């Protein structure tokens, strides 16, 4: 990919021609491939998140550090259905399906996404089902930049 041969003539043009390897590496193809891969990852990374459209509530909480295992997300939509990742799950099958998923996972962390217009009691019902399925580490997903409860920081 990057080396070649440089030919030099002998003394005075007489004798055998000697070939020496070229010691330079052509990095242009490598850079081209890396730039293409960078663009592909930049375009595809936002598409890897859960695609259930919700109007998440805003809060001043900090984000949760990322993990090595793909996060399991349960979404509660304003229309009523419960989504596990991108597939709709009937309420009577939710605990059964999540128990099967929990048996295959190393982490007991689950992300609960819910539209801000859903009543609090409904969210607590879903959280109870998640706990019954074996998930004790439930993370409530919100959008950043919401109101703060600290009066000293909001006045300054």
Q: What is the pLDDT of residues 29-69, one digit of tens each?
A: 899 999 999 999 888 877 666 566 667 777 776 666 665 66
Helix or strand run (H / E) with residue 20: strand 18-21
pLDDT at res. 51 = 63
Are 18 and 10 a contacting pair, CB within 8 Å? yes
- For the entire predicted model, the pTM comes to 0.53
Domains and CATH numbers, the chain: 5-46 (no CATH), 51-144 (3.30.420.270)
Average pLDDT over residues 121-127: 88
Spatial neighbors of 24 by CB under 8 A, at least 6 apart, are 2, 3
Strand order in the sheet with 137-140: 87-89, 82-84, 73-76, 109-114, 137-140
Give CA 26 to chain center in angstroms.
35
């Amino acid at each position: 990919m990057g080396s070649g041969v440089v030919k030099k003539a002998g003394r005075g043009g007489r004798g055998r021609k000697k070939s020496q390897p070229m010691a330079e590496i052509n990095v242009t193809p490598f850079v081209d491939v890396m730039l293409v891969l960078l663009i592909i990852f930049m375009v595809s990374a936002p598409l890897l998140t859960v695609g259930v459209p919700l109007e998440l509530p805003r809060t001043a909480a900090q984000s949760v550090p990322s993990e090595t295992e793909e996060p399991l997300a349960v979404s509660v939509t304003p229309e009523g259905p419960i989504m596990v990742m991108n597939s709709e799950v009937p309420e009577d099958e939710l605990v059964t399906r999540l128990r099967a998923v929990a048996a295959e996972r190393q982490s007991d962390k689950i992300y609960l996404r819910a539209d801000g217009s859903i009543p609090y009691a409904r969210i607590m019902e879903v959280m109870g089902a998640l706990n019954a399925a074996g998930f004790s580490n439930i993370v409530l997903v919100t959008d950043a930049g919401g109101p703060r409860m600290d009066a000293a920081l909001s006045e300054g």
